[in-house]
Amino acid sequence: MDKKALEALLKDMSLEEKVMQLVQISGAEYEADAEITGVERGQVKDNVKRLAGSTLGIWGSKSLRRIQEQYMSEHPHHIPLMFMLDVIHGHKTVLPCPLGQGATFDPDAVRKGAELQAREAAADGVHATFSPMADLCRDARWGRIMESTGEDKLLNSRMAAAMVEGYQGKDLKDNAHVAACVKHFAAYGAAEGGRDYNNTELSEHTLREYYLRAYGEAIKKKPAMVMTSFNSINGIPATGNRILMRKILREEFGFQGVLISDWAAVGEMINHGYAEDQRDAALKGMLAGVDIDMCSGCYSAHLEGLVNAGIVPIKMLNEAVLRVLNMKNDLGLFEDPFRGLDADVTPVITEESRRLAREMVAASIVLLENKGKTLPLGKEKIAFVGPYADTKKLQSSWAFSGDDENTVSVWEAASEVYEAENIKSAAGCTMLDQDAVTAREIRHIDNWQDINNCLLAEAISVAEWADTVVLCLGEDMAQSGEATSKVSLRLPAVQMQLLHEIKKTGKKIVTLVFTGRPLELMEVRELSDALMVCWLPGTEGGHGILDVLTGKVSPSGRLTASFPYTVGQEPLHYDMYPTGRPKPENGPGPYTSRYLDCENGALYPFGYGLSYTSFSYGDARLSAQTMSPYETITASVTVKNTGDRKGSATVQLYIRDITGSRVRPIRELADFKKISLEPGAVEEVSFVINEEMLRFWTAEEKWESEPGKFQVWICDNSRDGKPLEFQLS
């Protein structure tokens, strides 16, 4: 439909019709087995169901076609209903959770993964996904760190931009892409105490320098939507925050798409103490520029009255409605309201989609320890032990449209690789301690102790039979994601007991950790001969993990979030400030910024990861020692594979601005390149440093660089390497 026709349609719509285009209701209003991802409010009124502009949480071409046919037949202007769904890291083929995808340090792979997700979701009638989550996360206590790509603003920027490109492609009208939604705007990951939905206190400087960066880069790729976050920022809920939404998002970032609230976030301004009642919340949401009210009921109940009372200008309403109509138009829904609703087409997992997923699993795995080259495994007798040894539940809590049945477990993959007589498996213990709490329930298992005594006895006998034990431990998938904040980052006690008991058998232990967040792994490190983080790997989890365990693929993942010595260090991030009393590298130093009982940095830092081969970095070189703002400097290093296996190195460029009008971090990631080298091969890796990379939010409240001295590292993690220096004139 062309612009004039859209405007004519808008003009012809009744006030009620306009208001309802700004209302999103749960898919449960249309279908019993909808996925509910928020607090339900009970059935909506008939007119709301008949006229609501969009719904979420349902998929499947057959049922959505039936829903769309009925909806359009009843709609006065036959405006199509929009179907939205959380396709976060997979629809049918579930990929590694985003924290694992980030660990690939491969935006192109992540873009291809988003393309695959979009293809599968669009074939199931989905028009829009609520992804990418571009929230910067420095606090492992916050369970939603699993849905992010971690603590670094540059890596998050590259990954979020890649996901928007992958989801949307070049033309939203084609039936292999879906509208993207950058979320949660803004700074949701900075929740105080790591407690979900909590307030965030951020200076303008920290907000702009760190937390807004990835949203801004993703918005440059023109996502169809942005979603507001649940948190308040410096005391004002994001969903009613006019400065954040109208000044920064719309004016500065130039976002022209649809701004949708998070689930019930408009109404929750009452709980925040920012809105008197639902009518006031509806007003505050509109004034802030929220176009669609997801499931709070405030817009459907009060917006028409607010317009009739002249409190909400009709111009403001029309602008919001036109943005929603434009989105439907960009999706081609006016020409083809049944796109993706071909009853004969349902997305299936293909060899190609499995291959892509399997490669991403292997590339996401981070090898943390490999004492005495325990890995890769040889032809020894192997016991696969632990609650993750033989489970198909390798997806996250945000992969509900995927079927566990399609997942390849570690044990199934091992059974394809090894002769039956050479492998055995045992669960060894329950996943969780007796009264563990997950997002939605307390799991209390009667006769829990008896169960675990039996499981342990079986595991010990299997371990005594084996040469090597692959111990598959981790957090339950329901212990990361929304509303899963924790004050402990330790593995469940019952799993640690299993580890200690297996250690007593004297066998080699390869520990695999399945998790959606950084964990405390110091004790696990001491007791393991090899240690790998496998995240929540999804459908091809078992295959990807066995490809790495057997050496078919050398591990190349790098951490995207700091793994602490202890939770007491949280929030923890590598790009910290030096302080006026920096702790010396080689010791405590009196009167310095340190803990009496812990290191300042991480047990395993951002960017860290091992390979089965080894790499040597030659001396880094700079093409010049000074540069004007109009010049560039090339930083180069030769990297050699000094081992006997092919491997991938993630070469990282870090920069430090020594002196500025504001204090500057001890180093920050400025670029990265992943290279693959055969044994003995050498490659020169170069990065171009330009003035734009040196800009920051200065004391003048501007994005600019400042003359002065800079340090540069080219290395393989955020802690090591020797710096070079250059001067910006």
Nearer to ligand GLC, 438 or 652 (CB): 438
Burial, 527: exposed, middle or buried (Cβ in 10 Å; 0-12, 13-18, 19+)? middle
Binders of ligand GLC in range 42-61 (CB under 6 A)? 56
The 3 state secondary structure assigned to 14-60 is CHHHHHHHCEEEEHHHCCCCCCCCCCCCCCCCHHHHHHCCEEECCCC
Binders of ligand GLC in range 77-116 (CB under 6 A)? 86
Nearer to ligand GLC, 476 or 482 (CB): 482
Shortest reach from residue 437's CB to ligand GLC, in Å: 19
Nearer to ligand GLC, 17 or 482 (CB): 482
CB-CB contact of 362 with 408 (8 Å): no
Residue 195 lies near ligand GLC (rule: CB under 6 A): no
Shortest reach from residue 278's CB to ligand GLC, in Å: 19
Token pair of 290 as six digits: 């929220």
CA–CA separation, 488 vs 472, rounded Å? Answer: 20
Shortest reach from residue 94's CB to ligand GLC, in Å: 17
Which of 237, 208, 236, 214 lies closest to 226 in space, CA to CA? 214
Shortest reach from residue 86's CB to ligand GLC, in Å: 5
Nearer to ligand GLC, 166 or 557 (CB): 166
Shortest reach from residue 552's CB to ligand GLC, in Å: 36
Counting Cα atoms < 13 Å in the Cβ hemisphere of 251 gives 8
Residue 533 carries which side chain, given as an amino acid letter? V
Catalytic residue among 139, 262, 433, 547: 262
Among 30, 59, 130, 388, binds ligand GLC (CB under 6 A): 130
Instruction: Measure CA 4 to chain center.
Output: 39
Residue 304 lies near ligand GLC (rule: CB under 6 A): no
Instruction: Give me the sign of the Cα torsion angle 29, 33, 35, 38.
Output: positive
Residue 135 lies near ligand GLC (rule: CB under 6 A): no
Residue 37 lies near ligand GLC (rule: CB under 6 A): yes
Residue 26 lies near ligand GLC (rule: CB under 6 A): no
User: What are the DSSP E strand ranges found in 155-309?
Assistant: 181-185, 225-228, 232-233, 236-237, 258-260, 293-294
DSSP 400: T
Q: Which residues contact 280 (CB under 8 A, 6 or more apart)?
A: 269, 270
Shortest reach from residue 672's CB to ligand GLC, in Å: 27
Nearer to ligand GLC, 31 or 482 (CB): 482
Residue 262 lies near ligand GLC (rule: CB under 6 A): yes
CA–CA separation, 92 vs 501, rounded Å? Answer: 38
716 catalytically annotated: no
- Maximum C-alpha span of the chain: 79
Three-state SS for 89?
Answer: coil
Shortest reach from residue 341's CB to ligand GLC, in Å: 21
Residue 316 carries which side chain, given as an amino acid letter? M
CB-CB contact of 512 with 410 (8 Å): yes
Shortest reach from residue 156's CB to ligand GLC, in Å: 16
Among 91, 119, 153, 183, binds ligand GLC (CB under 6 A): 183
Query: Binding string, 334-373, against ligand GLC, x = CB under 6 A?
Result: ----------------------------------------
Nearer to ligand GLC, 38 or 708 (CB): 38
Residue 268 lies near ligand GLC (rule: CB under 6 A): no
Nearer to ligand GLC, 59 or 130 (CB): 130
What spatial distance separates the first Cα and last Cα of the chain, rounded to whole Å? 53
Residue 215 lies near ligand GLC (rule: CB under 6 A): no
Token pair of 471 as six digits: 């111990």
CA–CA separation, 686 vs 675, rounded Å? Answer: 12
Token pair of 263 as six digits: 């689930």
Nearer to ligand GLC, 54 or 370 (CB): 54
Shortest reach from residue 281's CB to ligand GLC, in Å: 17
N residues, the chain: 729
Among 1, 10, 16, 38, binds ligand GLC (CB under 6 A): 38
Nearer to ligand GLC, 143 or 665 (CB): 143
DSSP 198: -
Counting Cα atoms < 13 Å in the Cβ hemisphere of 31 gives 21
Residue 263 lies near ligand GLC (rule: CB under 6 A): yes
CB-CB contact of 108 with 162 (8 Å): yes
Residue count, binding to ligand GLC (CB under 6 A): 9
Among 482, 570, 575, 716, binds ligand GLC (CB under 6 A): 482
Which of 222, 306, 220 lies closest to 257 in space, CA to CA? 222
* Active-site annotation, residues: 262
Give the footprint of ligand GLC on this chain (CB under 6 A). Answer: 37-38, 56, 86, 130, 183, 262-263, 482
